[in-house]
Amino acid sequence: VLEPVANNIRKHKLFTDGEDILIAVSGGIDSVVLLHLLHHFAVSCGWQLTIAHFNHKLRGRESDADERFVRTLAKKLNVPIIVDSVNVKAHAKRTGQSIEMAARELRHAFFVKAARARKIKTVALAHHADDQVELFFLRLLRGTSIDGLAGMKWRASSPNDKTIHLARPLLNISREQIETFAHHNKLRWREDTSNQSIDFLRNRIRGELIPLLAKSYQPAVRANIVRTMEILAGEADLLQQLAKKSGAFDKLPVALQRRKLQQELFALNLPADFAAIDNLRLHLGRVIELNPSSRVWRDKAGRVHIANVPQTRFSTTTRRIKLQSKETKTTFANCQLTFRIVEKAGAEFVRKPNTEYFDADKVGRIVTLRHWQPGDRFHPIGAQAARKLQDIFVDLKIPQEQRHTRIIATSANGDVFWVEGVRIAENCKLTASTKRRLTLQWKRD
């Protein structure tokens, strides 16, 4: 491993002689091996190393034991260490993110904070070839562009600060090579038991999908995917260069049109997902909404311009109603609504237009009808946690002007249990234990 890693550092210009380097060390085998490798090269290269350890507080005592292990390792190698901890699970619940996404966001924020504190410009990460393969399938299943399938870069700017770079010296080193190096050098490390949990898609890809492909379809699947990613990375770079030199927008191939629009959006620090790019590509001059505060349009040359976002006032109109034993009718915001309570157990129902079904006892007798307000949170049926209603509107691409006219119904305890044209709430759905059901029908004038 020593020689290939040294070649990687030289070939991809990951570090310069005499540089200060921040090394992300979780305590797992990958980061422990990376630390020992860079520590081995440090004297001859004149590097000043600092360890960064982020305690995610996801595994209780195990997480704290990881932190103690890394602190001990830092002391043994005489390398300074910076440690921080955040309750990732609480942050994920508060923001409506997945635990994986919240952990990544907080971890990178910590790396930038630690690097700035020590005036360090490069953070070394222990991602390796097997991580690349897992990422390929992860992004393929979720949908991505050629850049996404190309995977992680050897050296790239931090998503939190473009002046700080992330370097990955092990990107072509396999997990097997890492384990061989660790055993040969009698290194100690910590095992993360959450890596075995099938609750995370990446773990299922690692433990189920890739082994299945290797056993039943292609024994060399890992090597083939890594090679494919290298090819895609080269082609992505070519597209990037061609798009910068492109001619008349309407004469360009579709791939270059998309790449040029992506560059334009990135230059404006705006999100550039596939739907937004293709909307801009197909509709000259049409205003496209990217998020509640960003609207853009493109001109004939393919340049993207920011459009003014009209300010829409939040309506404070409300109507509080007390549900009767059988049927309650009301009109609100040019919409006729009928609530019916039925003594019917179970979760089975027949889907009908403009009709929703709830557990009547969970909703309660008092219902308030109103419109979207800043800070509203909603837990849609089937979702893992509550999210900001604004983010749900954006994901569903509901036009901004409509968001302020949709009707929202809150239960007796004030929770949103229905959003017109969206979904019902998870905590008010029909279940096997439901005794009485509430049927809501609505009709717009």
Q: Let me know if 369 is exposed, middle or buried by CB neighbors in 10 A (0-12, 13-18, 19+).
A: buried
Query: What is the chain's pLDDT, residue by residue, as a tens digit (445 residues)?
Result: 899 999 999 999 999 999 999 999 999 999 999 999 999 999 999 999 999 999 998 888 999 999 999 999 999 999 999 999 998 888 888 877 788 888 899 999 999 999 999 999 999 999 999 999 999 999 999 888 899 999 999 999 998 899 999 999 999 999 999 999 999 999 999 988 777 766 678 889 999 999 999 999 999 999 999 999 999 999 999 999 999 887 899 999 999 999 999 999 998 988 888 888 999 999 998 888 887 678 899 999 999 999 876 666 788 899 999 998 789 999 998 999 999 999 999 989 888 999 999 999 999 999 999 999 988 999 999 888 888 898 888 888 787 778 888 999 999 888 999 999 888 999 999 999 999 999 999 998 7
Rounded to whole angstroms, the Cα distance separating 425 from 418 reads 6
Q: Do residues 159 and 104 make contact, with C-beta atoms less than 8 angstroms apart? A: no
Rounded to whole angstroms, the Cα distance separating 214 from 220 reads 7
**Which of 332-336's residues contact partners 24+ apart within 8 Å by CB, and which partners?**
332/369, 332/407, 333/369, 333/371, 333/405, 333/407, 334/444, 334/445, 335/407, 335/420, 335/442, 335/443, 335/444, 335/445, 336/442, 336/443, 336/445
Q: Which two tokens stand for residue 156?
A: 């790239």
Rounded to whole angstroms, the Cα distance separating 337 from 418 reads 12
Element (H, E) at 95: helix 88-95
Q: What are phi and psi of 369, to 5 degrees?
A: -100, 135
Rounded to whole angstroms, the Cα distance separating 131 from 238 reads 24
Greatest alpha-carbon span in the chain = 83
Sign of the dihedral defined by the CA atoms of residues 369, 374, 379, 380, in that order = positive
Tell me the whole-structure pTM to 2 decimals: 0.67
Query: Which 8-state DSSP code applies to residue 118?
Result: T
